[in-house]
Homo-oligomer: A and B are copies of this chain.
Amino acid sequence: MDINNEISKLDWKREPYGLYAPIEYTLAAGGKRVRPQLAMIACQMFGGKDEDVLPAALALEVFHNFTLLHDDVMDKADVRRGRPTVHVKWDENTAILSGDQMLIEAYKLLSGVPADKLPKVLQLFNKMATEICEGQQYDVDFENQEQVAIEEYLKMIRLKTSVLLATALQIGAYIAGASEEQQEALYQFGINVGLAFQIQDDILDVWGDPATFGKAVGGDIGCNKKTFVYLEAMRQLGDGASKELHYWYNQILEDNTEKIATVKGIFEALGVRATCENVVEEYTQSALELLKDLPQNEATRKLRKLADKLNTRNS
């Protein structure tokens, strides 16, 4: 079953046009469809039927795109996947209301799972949705927080990024009839892969190849984003020695060239890149470990490949 094909079958040609056209626009932008694919792979691992998990897979993708839509309003981001964001193409009120409707559409899709599975799937989905909002709030809070501990940062990215991957896997496994232990193993696989993914993202922001990264290199540094790389550097420097980095991370500049070069220089003098890459490797290995006690089949192979790919990707 091709998930892109299933997404394109969703019908948004509905009145009022002003509510549904932005939803169609958002979902048509593409993306890797990682979350619905994880749900389907987890279901396949335990011999479940694609059509049983499909409603939840679609719900997860629509939900994910809802979070992007509202995040872009909150971040005042103008571009997403190479196209104007909804609040730029239409306006902010449209982005808020169409986003609300997308969240409701996610629940409508979700309610299509087999009725006997619905209560538990709904509960898992609600927990995940709540945690993502909490993660987003922590992310906002950190902007105004002088010091952020690495543990706090890890908690934030677990909530904001990992639980969606983890829950996609758990729901897929649950629908296929996997045991609690198997569901939990896949959930933790998703958590670890998500952490590795986000830290790799933070690394690529500093050392990514501008030709393949897709975003401008140094963007996080420019806007003083407290990434894993930054927090690790601060930790290594300790209270006294962190003054120069702290100084640069309090500047809002028109031209970030010098700032990015200087901060990158500090990171490199500390050897932070290797430390961070080791952390990505550790989370990836932890994820792969979790697959060992699960059925070994085509689905497991796909998950293993995915974890490796996230670890070594350059974009």
Residues of A that sit less than 8 Å from B by CB: 15-16, 18-19, 70, 73-74, 93, 96-97, 99-101, 103-105, 107-108, 111, 115, 118-119, 122-123, 126, 129-130, 133-134, 136-138, 140-141
Cα distance, A118 to B123, chains bound together (Å): 12
6 closest Cβ pairs, A-B complex: A19-B137, A16-B137, A74-B93, A101-B133, A104-B129, A108-B126
List 20 A-B residue pairs with CB atoms under 8 Å apart, sorted by A's residue number. Answer: A70-B96, A70-B97, A74-B93, A74-B97, A97-B133, A97-B137, A100-B100, A101-B130, A103-B103, A103-B104, A104-B126, A104-B130, A105-B130, A107-B107, A107-B122, A107-B129, A108-B126, A111-B123, A115-B119, A118-B122
Question: Which B residues touch A107, using CB under 8 A?
Answer: 107, 122, 126, 129
User: Is the pair B141, A16 in contact by a Cβ cutoff of 8 Å?
Assistant: yes
Taking the closest CB of chain B, its distance from the CB of A84, in whole angstroms, is 19
User: Is the pair B73, A96 in contact by a Cβ cutoff of 8 Å?
Assistant: yes
User: Is the pair A137, B18 in contact by a Cβ cutoff of 8 Å?
Assistant: yes
Question: Which B residues touch A129, using CB under 8 A?
Answer: 104, 107
Cα distance, A15 to B138, chains bound together (Å): 9
Residue from B108, B111, B123, B133 within 8 A of A100 (CB atoms): B133
Question: Which B residues touch A18, using CB under 8 A?
Answer: 137, 140-141
Cα distance, A105 to B130, chains bound together (Å): 8
Residue from B16, B136, B141 within 8 A of A138 (CB atoms): B16
Cα distance, A73 to B133, chains bound together (Å): 18
Which residue of chain B is the closest to A95 with respect to CB atoms? Answer: B96
Question: Which B residues touch A126, using CB under 8 A?
Answer: 104, 107-108, 111
User: Is the pair A70, B100 in contact by a Cβ cutoff of 8 Å?
Assistant: yes
Which residue of chain B is the closest to A113 with respect to CB atoms? Answer: B119
Cα distance, A184 to B137, chains bound together (Å): 42
Cα distance, A2 to B119, chains bound together (Å): 27
Question: Which B residues touch A104, using CB under 8 A?
Answer: 103, 126, 129-130, 133
Question: Which B residues touch A141, using CB under 8 A?
Answer: 16, 18
Question: Which B residues touch A19, using CB under 8 A?
Answer: 133-134, 137
Question: Which B residues touch A73, using CB under 8 A?
Answer: 93, 96
Taking the closest CB of chain B, its distance from the CB of A148, in whole angstroms, is 13
Which residue of chain B is the closest to A108 with respect to CB atoms? Answer: B126
Residue from B16, B105, B122 within 8 A of A134 (CB atoms): B16
Taking the closest CB of chain B, its distance from the CB of A129, in whole angstroms, is 5
